[in-house]
Amino acid sequence: MENASIAVPPSGGGAFLRTVDSASLSHQLPHEKLAWMLRKMCETRYFEEKAEELYTRGLVHGTMHLSIGMEASPIGSIGALEPDDLIIHHHRGHGHTIAKGADIAIMMGEFLGKEPGYCRGRGGSMHIADMQGGNFGATGIVGGGIPIAVGIGLALHMRRSSQVLLSFFGDGTTNEGAFHEALNLASIWKLPIVFICDNNKYGMSMDVHQVMNIEYISERAASYGIPGVSIDGNDVLTVYQVIGEAIARARAGEGPMLVENLTYRWRGHSKSDRNLYRTQEEIAEWMERCPIKRFKQLLVTEHIMDEVEVEDIDLQAKETIDQSAEEAVLMPEPSPENMEDEVYAP
């Protein structure tokens, strides 16, 4: 982003809900950037719908955590990065990996446990990483990625690098001790990290307001003397603008920031979740706020694209996913002969 300034409360002054005029912003961004955002959101949606299909066919080993309905957060956030910037994400990281430029066929291969996958089939759905692409993947521990993010941020700081790291995590992570320790260290060392909380309202089956007595998670930033804001995480342009400003702030040496993306997952926590803790009416209400549908409507209403172009981008995304899945299904399985290649314990 060109402008490093951001409207935030004074250090230690608490959090607030930030809004962005997305209609006006849509006329300020290059057409190519807007098309990229739409395509990557559609690719993420179709990837996860294809993942569900492959799961029902018995081709997926283990469970998976889907982010259908949350696509604006990873796409808007990563869309504001420079190509050599870095990310570390969470267990709903398919959109983050797609947005960071992953080869979707190789990514799908990893999802299916295939040898040509990014982690040679060892990582699966939750641990897809692409180190060469600046994607450090996710850990299997709630909050486990945040201390790693601080280590990466410290390395960037010590190297006097201009790179910035986006650290993604869920609402449940913010009740882990590692979250508070990490934000404190990042604050006192002014590390180039943007902490992004994808608050999808539930930690597994627990409503977020049953486990914390604050309105916005971003209020917790005040405890560490850093700015915190909460935003509409289903509006990709709001996400892009606010995260972009936070990135520029971090790159300028002004330290970290906490951004809470308010969003919602349409599916259960994982494939074993029967969704008994929330109503169908609530799910339907959030489905009406679909980030892809909203972005399409905005592009057409603001005469950025016509409906033909919008649907053509959507179709191209679906074709990419279908072709990638076909390639991945045919990829070779890992060989028993090399099963210990990635095991470092004696």
pLDDT at 15 over 70: no
Q: Is residue 9 part of a domain?
A: no
Average the pLDDT over 298-322 and give the result: 97
Q: Name the average pLDDT for the chain.
A: 87
Domain-located, residue 216: yes
To which residue do tokens 């006329």 refer?
Answer: 27
Residue 129 in any domain: the answer is yes
Residue 113 lies in a domain: yes
Residue 39 lies in a domain: yes
Residue 156 vs residue 273, higher pLDDT: 156
Which tens digit of pLDDT belongs to each residue from 107-119?
888 888 888 777 7
Q: Torsion-angle region of residue 135: left (phi > 0), alpha (psi -120 to 50) or beta? A: beta
CB atoms under 10 Å from CB of 243, counted, come to 25
pLDDT at 206: 66
CB 14 within 8 A of CB 222: yes
Model confidence over 160-170: pLDDT tens digits?
999 999 999 98
In this prediction the pTM is: 0.88
Question: Which H/E stretch holds residue 56?
Answer: helix 31-56
Residue 84: the pLDDT is: 96
In tens, the pLDDT along 144-156 reads 889 999 999 999 9
Q: What is the pLDDT of residue 308?
A: 97
Where residue 5 falls among pLDDT bands split at 50, 70, 90?
Answer: very low
The string of DSSP codes covering 235-266 is -HHHHHHHHHHHHHHHHTT---EEEEEE---S
pLDDT digits (tens, 9 = 90+) for 78-89: 999 999 999 998
Examine the pLDDT at 122 and tell me if it is beyond 80: no
Query: Can you say whether the dihedral through the CA atoms of 201, 207, 213, 215 is positive or negative?
Result: positive
Domain of residue 203, CATH code: 3.40.50.970
Statement: residue 245 has pLDDT above 70: yes
Residue 56 sits in which domain range?
15-328
- pLDDT value for 2: 41
Q: Return the pLDDT at 10.
A: 40
Region of residue 325 (phi > 0: left; psi between -120 and 50: alpha; otherwise: beta): alpha
Q: Does any domain span residue 5?
A: no
* 293 has pLDDT over 80: yes
pLDDT digits (tens, 9 = 90+) for 44-98: 999 989 988 888 888 887 777 788 888 999 999 999 999 999 999 888 778 899 9
The residue ranking higher by pLDDT, 111 or 220, is: 220
Ranking 18-27, 103-112, 277-286, 302-311 by mean pLDDT, the lowest is: 277-286
Instruction: Give the dihedral sign, CA 156/160/165/167.
Output: positive
User: How sure is the predictor about 270, in pLDDT bands with cuts at 50, 70 and 90?
Assistant: low
**Regarding beta strands 165-170 and 193-199, do their DSSP bridges make them parallel or antiparallel, or are they unpaired?**
parallel
Asked if the structure places residue 339 within a domain, the reply is no
Helix, strand, coil percent content, the chain, rounded in steps of 5: 45, 10, 45
Cα-flanking dihedrals φ and ψ of residue 86, to 5°? -125, 160
- pLDDT score of 124: 66
Q: Is residue 334 part of a domain?
A: no
197: its two tokens:
């909380």
Q: H helices within 69-207, ranges in order?
A: 72-78, 94-99, 104-111, 145-158, 177-188
Q: What is the domain count for the chain?
A: 1
* Lookup: tokens for 315: 């179709």
Please provide residue 230's backbone torsions phi and psi, each rounded to the nearest 5 degrees: -115, 140
